Amino acid sequence: MKIFVFLSIAALCSAKSLLQNEFLHFLAEQDIIPAPSPDDLIFTCPLKCICQIQVVQCSDAGLKSVPAKIPKDTVMLDLQNNKITEIKENDLKNLHLLYALFLINNRITKIHPKAFRSIKHLKLLYLSWNLLPQLPTNLPTSILELRIDDNKIKKIPKNAFKGMTFLHVLEMSGNPLDATGIEPDAFVGVLRLIYIRISQAKLTSVPKNLPPNLYELYLDHNKISSLELQDFRQYKDLYRLDLSYNQIKHIENGSLAYLPNLRQIHLENNKVNKVPASIKQLKYLQVVYLHNNNISKIEVDDFCPKESRIKKLHYSGISLFGNPVKHWEIQPASFQCVSGAHGVQLGNFRK
């Protein structure tokens, strides 16, 4: 029924507006949408935008500010690729139904602390590729996904995501953030965050103040030089960990053993000089990327422990090319717990 109603609205939106008003009244009588107020009867669509059933698209329109007169029933507002410099106090006023707001690739330096005050159902907020010097304050607590890559954010202060119980995905790559910039109580109250990406930042160590129930953590393209014993202690649910393109040389024995559920680890393009000791203890680990490191020797039990009770699942992929190890010195038994003919990529050796 609902689908039918939306399709009907879609069809009617392109019909005459008188017909549309009648139809909106009809929907209101059926309790499908709130009754239109006299204001709403004048159908408005901001200049340079395209409006279609509660979706307002104003991308690539050279806009320098958020357009006025956005229809009040808008659920999706697309303002990508413009020249907007600021979100002012009343720019988003009355958009009570807004569900998704896309502001990627503008020149935003400022978001008024009250800009979101009437928005209660926002789920997706994309602010990547702007010039924000800090996280916006008073974000709607309903947000599921926040993308704020490639801004100028140096700090995640205490209570930065206050009340954002539902936040699932946070993308914060390409900001000048280091691990000390993430304050101890930065994620207080965030209970369901399962995915964080802080790639291409200025991290020199693994941040310790992220929420404990993460599934996926991406810290690639940073300047992390070692993994310490306590680094992953609180991230026991991690499923996928990406530490590629760092400067990791030293991995403290046992540091990865805190990750019993790990399925996939990316350690490629670092300076690792031996296979991390705890790898073989991770019984669900399936994919290990270790290519382009400085590993010169593979021990027979580096991947496959002698006591078969430890490792339960077989590996499906191990990459080791681009390491100085001499392949003729590797014993075939080293990979006895790898499945498939192409499970191990040794590739060409430097010497």
260 makes contact with ligand NAG (CB under 6 A): no
> How buried is residue 289: exposed, middle or buried, by Cβ count under 10 Å (0-12/13-18/19+)?
buried
> How buried is residue 55: exposed, middle or buried, by Cβ count under 10 Å (0-12/13-18/19+)?
middle
Residue number with CB closer to ligand NAG (197 or 291): 291
Q: Binder to ligand NAG among 194, 277, 287, 346 (CB under 6 A)?
A: 277
| Angular region, 60: left φ>0, alpha ψ -120 to 50, beta rest | left
294 makes contact with ligand NAG (CB under 6 A): yes
Scanning 67-75, 177-185, 238-246, 269-277 for contacts with ligand NAG by CB under 6 A, the matching segment is 269-277
DSSP 166-215: T--EEE-TTS---GGGB-TTTTTT-----EEE--SS--SS--S-S-TT-S
Q: Are 261 and 284 in contact (CB under 8 A)?
A: yes
Residue number with CB closer to ligand NAG (253 or 339): 253
189 makes contact with ligand NAG (CB under 6 A): no
Residue number with CB closer to ligand NAG (159 or 273): 273
CB of 317 to ligand NAG, least distance (A): 24
254 makes contact with ligand NAG (CB under 6 A): yes
CB of 133 to ligand NAG, least distance (A): 36
CB of 136 to ligand NAG, least distance (A): 41
CB of 219 to ligand NAG, least distance (A): 20
The residue written with tokens 């990979």 in the block is: 335
- Please enumerate in sequence order all residues whose Cβ is within 8 A of that of 19, keeping only pairs 6 or more positions apart, or say none: 12
CB of 334 to ligand NAG, least distance (A): 16
Q: What are the Cα distances from residue 152, in Å, to 56, 104, 234, 259?
A: 28, 14, 28, 32
145 backbone dihedrals φ, ψ, rounded to 5°: -135, 120
305 makes contact with ligand NAG (CB under 6 A): no
CB of 336 to ligand NAG, least distance (A): 20
- Beta strand pairing call for 195-197 and 169-171: parallel
Q: Binder to ligand NAG among 52, 296, 308, 331 (CB under 6 A)?
A: 296
Residue number with CB closer to ligand NAG (296 or 339): 296
Angle at 300 between CA 298 and CA 303, to 5 degrees: 75
Residue number with CB closer to ligand NAG (306 or 342): 306
17 makes contact with ligand NAG (CB under 6 A): no
134 makes contact with ligand NAG (CB under 6 A): no
> How buried is residue 31: exposed, middle or buried, by Cβ count under 10 Å (0-12/13-18/19+)?
exposed
Q: Residue 193 has which token pair? A: 């965050």
229 makes contact with ligand NAG (CB under 6 A): no
223 makes contact with ligand NAG (CB under 6 A): no
Query: Residue numbers of the site for ligand NAG (CB under 6 A)?
Result: 253-254, 271, 273, 277, 294, 296
